[in-house]
């Protein structure tokens, strides 16, 4: 039986018992509306740990004023099913008032890594993410925590934060799970109507073209980005937020492809902002 826990104290008490019995704890933080991407993280955690905790919390402090906090999709009953099917033992589902009972004076900033890509467009987003993940790490105190490469910048930021602040937690990055036509699974895909859903394949199609150019030894980033922009602009429902090639570790922009890189994009399809990426390593 899966336990649904809403209170921090109760979760701490429950996990203390497991820890006393030398059980390892895996943790999968999510905002809910679980799909196969989340499922792959939960499954991996339950394979690698005795107990898996999935948090479902739509974190208000990582949403900007004009973002989709209020309309973010929620369905706890379905989430419960996905969590159980993939081996989770506990869902932590706190209310906003439980996580933020009073005005927060303390925030976690992972500098530099939050400047490029989504950081440049979503001011304060990664501060909100790093702060809530710190709170959740302190509440759950897991042995391992699982994050998707779908949010590559988030993963890089969490890894650096864990190193800098000496969290004794192993961070595990998991591959992107996609629909059959290549679209990366996302809770936000539920916003797309049929026409938009078809248009949304432009992200992966363009990433594939970029990969092909790099495979064919193209190293000039401007040439690659120009091709990508032109390709995306052919899709009338798509509006580019950014397409960038950055160093895989520092996330700084590069002009020439020599070392390991991250190719990342954010594209509006209608009103829905979708992200996708791949990393390219040279050895």
Q: How many CA atoms lie within 13 A of 136 on its CB side?
A: 31
Q: What angle do CA 269, 272, 273 make, to 5 degrees?
A: 85
What is the number of the residue whose Cβ is closest to ligand AMP? 148
Query: Of the ranges 98-106, 115-123, 131-139, 144-152, which one interacts with ligand AMP (CB under 6 A)?
Result: 144-152
Residue 32 dihedral angles phi and psi, to the nearest 5°: 85, -170
Which 29-48 positions form the footprint of ligand AMP (CB under 6 A)?
30-31, 37-38, 40-41
184 binds ligand AMP (CB under 6 A): yes
CB of 224 to ligand AMP, least distance (A): 24
* The binder of ligand AMP chosen from 94, 119, 128, 148 (CB under 6 A): 148
Per CB under 6 A, does 177 bind ligand AMP? yes
Residue (110 or 257) nearer to ligand AMP, CB: 110
The pair of three-digit structure tokens given for residue 28, joined into one six-digit string: 């999968």
For ligand AMP, give the closer residue by CB, 63 or 243.
63
Polymer length of the chain: 283
Of positions 27, 72, 147, 191, contacts ligand AMP by CB under 6 A: 147
Q: How many helices, marked H, and strands, marked E, lie in the chain? A: 10, 9
169-203 as b/e: b if 16+ CB within 10 A = bebbbbebbebeeebbbbbbbebbeeebbebbebb
Residue 38 designated active-site = yes
Beta bridge partners of residue 92, listed in sequence order? 5, 55
- Give the residue numbers annotated as catalytic, written as ranges: 38
Q: Which residues bind ligand AMP (CB under 6 A)?
A: 30-31, 37-38, 40-41, 147-148, 150-151, 174, 176-177, 184-187
């Amino acid at each position: 039986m899966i336990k649904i826990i809403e209170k921090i104290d109760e979760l701490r008490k429950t996990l203390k018992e497991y820890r006393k019995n030398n059980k390892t704890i895996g943790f999968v933080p999510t905002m809910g509306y679980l799909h196969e991407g989340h499922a792959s993280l939960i499954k991996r955690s339950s394979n690698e740990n005795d107990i898996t905790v999935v948090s479902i919390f739509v974190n208000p402090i990582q949403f900007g004023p004009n973002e989709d906090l209020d309309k973010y999709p929620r369905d706890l009953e379905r989430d419960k099913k996905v969590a159980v099917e993939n081996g989770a033992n506990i869902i932590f589902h706190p209310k906003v008032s439980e996580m933020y009972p009073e005005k927060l004076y303390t925030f976690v900033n992972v500098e530099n890594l939050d400047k490029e890509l989504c950081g440049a467009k979503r001011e304060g987003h990664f501060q909100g993410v790093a702060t809530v993940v710190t709170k959740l790490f302190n509440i759950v105190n897991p042995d391992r925590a699982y994050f998707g490469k779908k949010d590559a910048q988030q993963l890089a930021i969490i890894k650096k934060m864990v190193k800098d602040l000496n969290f004794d937690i192993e961070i595990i990055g998991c591959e992107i799970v996609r629909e059959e036509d290549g679209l990366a699974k996302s809770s936000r895909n539920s916003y797309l109507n049929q026409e938009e859903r078809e248009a949304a394949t432009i992200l992966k199609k363009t990433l594939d073209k970029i990969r092909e150019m790099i495979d064919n030894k193209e190293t000039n980033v401007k040439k690659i980005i120009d091709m990508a922009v032109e390709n995306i602009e052919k899709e009338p429902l798509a509006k580019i937020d950014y397409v960038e090639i950055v160093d895989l570790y520092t996330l700084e922009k590069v002009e020439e492809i020599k070392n390991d890189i991250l190719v990342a994009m954010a594209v509006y399809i209608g009103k829905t902002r979708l992200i996708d990426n791949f990393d390219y390593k040279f050895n």
